[in-house]
Amino acid sequence: MEWSAEGILLSVRKHGENAAIIETLTAEHGRHAGLVRGGAGRRYTATLQPGNQLALTWRGRLEENLGSFSRVELVRSRMGDVVNDREALAVLDSARALLCVYLPEREVLSAMYHATEALFSVLATADARRLAYARWEILLLSELGFALDLERCAVTGAREGLAYVSPRSGRAVTAQAAGEYAGKLLKLPDFIQRQSVAPTRAELHEALLLTGHFLDHWANPAHDQQQTPPARERLMTLLSRTQ
């Protein structure tokens, strides 16, 4: 078995004396791991940086084997976009961790790949990455089978004035329909409904409280996880601080 594709490096771990096992995300082959011989050596130091865009060739005797990457070439480095920006680095690490924990291995989820590539391409710009990351987590939930219905009110069917989300159903509700139950609902940040408005750090934190609720209550039980990955918690802590 053999395939070639472009992919995003999600994780690297040393294997033996000089090899490494890497996890990548591609549009055609999903989250896919493989051995890189010499991957722990200096030759690959700049290439095997998490988040980098790589040209890959994978080979395995059988499709289900771990296999190895015979070609790992740098297409685009993203470390320069995050090395001096704590928030950008935290977003990168959170996204990588969520993909490694929740995405099923080798399942083709091309929309998730393209959204991740788009997110990683705007890491250097605060407004763009905050808007992209909030939408990215909503897409992740959808790709995992836990789509939120944020298009219309669950009670009235209205598309305007959506202000809350039911913590049980994941469906949006207007402020008027929520009434006295508003305190029991999750807040829906306004920017999610407005396509061109980028969130502040505080507004992104608010949006991630929303998606985090469903990661905790829907995704974690389905994947036998006790909690969301620590990298996401570090991002939440950073966003909760004043700028």
pLDDT of the residue at 243:
54
Taking residue 5's Cβ as centre, other Cβ atoms within 10 Å add up to 16
What mean pLDDT value characterizes the chain?
95
Q: For residues 9 and 50, give the distance between their C-alpha atoms in angstroms, rounded to a whole number.
A: 5
Rounded Cα distance, 208 and 7, in Å: 26
pLDDT, one tens digit per residue, over 25-77 is 999 999 999 999 999 999 999 999 999 999 999 999 887 789 999 999 999 99
- Could you tell me the domains of the chain? 2-77 (2.40.50.140), 81-150+188-240 (1.20.1440)
pLDDT value at residue 193? 83
**Secondary structure (H, E, C), 122-154:** CCCCHHHHHHHHHHHHHHHHHHCCCCCECCCCC
**What pLDDT is stored for residue 92 in this prediction?**
98
- Confirm if 8 and 117 have CB atoms less than 8 A apart: yes
The string of pLDDT tens digits covering residues 2-19 is: 999 999 999 999 999 999
DSSP 198: P
Are the CB atoms for 8 and 113 separated by under 8 Å? yes
For the segment 129-178, what is each residue's pLDDT rounded down to a tens digit? 999 999 999 999 999 999 999 999 999 999 999 999 999 999 999 999 99
Helix (H) or strand (E) run with residue 69 in it = strand 68-76
What whole-number distance in Å separates Cα of residue 116 and Cα of residue 120? 6
pLDDT tens-digit map of 95-130: 999 999 999 999 999 999 999 999 999 999 999 999
The pLDDT of residue 242: 61
Rounded to 5 degrees, what are φ and ψ at 239?
-70, -25
* CA–CA separation, 213 and 217 (whole Å): 6
pLDDT value at residue 241: 87
In degrees, rounded to 5, the angle at the alpha carbon of residue 120 between the alpha carbons of residues 114 and 123 is: 145
Question: What was the pLDDT predicted at 113?
Answer: 98
